[in-house]
Amino acid sequence: MKITKNDVEKIAHLASLEVNNFKVDKFAEQINKIMQYFDKLKEVDLSGASFVSDVAFQTNVLRKDEKKKSPGPDTTLANAPEKDDDFYIVPRVV
């Protein structure tokens, strides 16, 4: 299936990316080439295959629900691009 420029724009929007016309063209061409290669996965006989999302092969890791000291707002907000006291500042939402 061919991925159109329109598809690239739609997916970029889903991923919160802004792509200009030049990049849409470039990405559409590259993605089509790569997706065509990915299509070889359709040749594989999947009988006997199972869904694997990781290779840790572990049971769930639990920890005790204990109170611990937090790093505090100064540390947590140390890298914030914009802050006011203990709050992150973001542009208008509504």
Partner 1 sequence: MKINELTIYQARELLKKHELSSLNLTLSLLEQIEDLDKDLGAYITVDKDNVINQAKEADKKIAKGDRDNNFLLGIPIALKDLLCTKGLKTTCGSRILEDFVPTYDATVVLMLKNAGAVILGKTNMDEFAMGSSTENSGFHITRNPLNKKYVPGGSSGGSAAAVAAGMCIAALGSDTGGSIRQPASYCGVVGIKPTYGRVSRFGLVSYASSLDQIGPITKDVKDAAIMMNVISGHDKKDSTSANIKVPDFTSCFNIFKKNGLKGMKAGIPKEYLNLEGLDSDVKKAFLNARKILQDLGADIVDVSLPHLDYAVAAYYVIASSEASSNLARFDGVKYGFRDKSADNLIEMYKKTKSHGFGDEVQLRIIMGTYALSAGYYDEYYARASKVRSLIIKDFSNAFNKCDIIISPVAPTPAFKIGEKIDDPLRMYLTDVFTLSANLAGIPGMSVPCAVSSKGLPIGLQIMADRFDEENILKAGFGFEQNSDMPKNIRNNS
Task: Write the CB contacts of 11 (distance below 8 Å, at least 6 apart in sequence).
Answer: none
Going residue by residue from 48 to 67, which x/- string records binding to partner 1, judged by CB under 8 A? Answer: xxxxxxxxxxx--x-x----
Looking at beta carbons only, is 37 or 67 nearer to partner 1?
37
4 binds partner 1 (CB under 8 A): no
- CB 57 to partner 1: min, Å: 8
Interface residue with partner 1, options 2, 21, 44, 68 (CB under 8 A): 44
78 binds partner 1 (CB under 8 A): yes
How far apart are the C-alpha atoms of 12 and 28, rounded to whole Å? 11
3-state secondary structure 14-80: HCCCCCCHHHHHHHHHHHHHHHHHHHHHHHCCCCCCCCCCCCCCCCCCCCCCCCCCCCCHHHHCCCC
Residue ranges that bind partner 1, judged by CB under 8 A = 3, 7-8, 11-12, 14-19, 23, 26-27, 30-31, 33-35, 37-38, 40-44, 46, 48-58, 61, 63, 71, 75-76, 78-82, 88, 90-93
